[in-house]
Structure 1
């Protein structure tokens, strides 16, 4: 039986391997209590701090507090905070924190159609760096 925890762990590995294909190294935080799920580095230096979210539904709600903690932690490490997420049968998507929409309450909302495929986002970043 697949538990939500094991599904989340598999999703984290799936996201991490996408970064690896683009030449990044990664480390899982290994704790569901942490602010982030993945630390993405290049040459030993922090580049991205990633929170991974996966749902079988059509929308995700992320508490404001969680987003602010990720932003603060990333700033302290000199990394860029990212939210990588997915819905049922989607490839990993990415959303920069500045592009999140408030849901009206104490959370942000992501729906199908939000974000950008992670591979496309990474390819665009690599082109801009050259």
Structure 2
């Protein structure tokens, strides 16, 4: 990256000659950082049962987002590198996305890998 720097941000150091920084080392650092950030949540086990720690009402314009109520259990099936999760609410059977920061991992076992079936009520 090449650009301008205000003169009051720099000073001349005695004994240092005009040396160019090796560009290869800078590019290697960038690529290694990118590789580390590709899977920031790799230590978490998925699928998992997570518990909602704060209420959340999503935007009306985001049809895929889930409403969360504190204490609900969610069967989490996907965790994206952006910090968004996909899961199914254990109480309502509704699936959708929600931020990672609104849930915490529990030690509850998952009996089967599929989310719970949606219960339909019939009116007769």
Give the TM-score taking structure 1 as reference length: 0.22
TM-score of the superposition, structure 2-length normalised? 0.22
Please say which structure displays the higher CA radius of gyration: 2
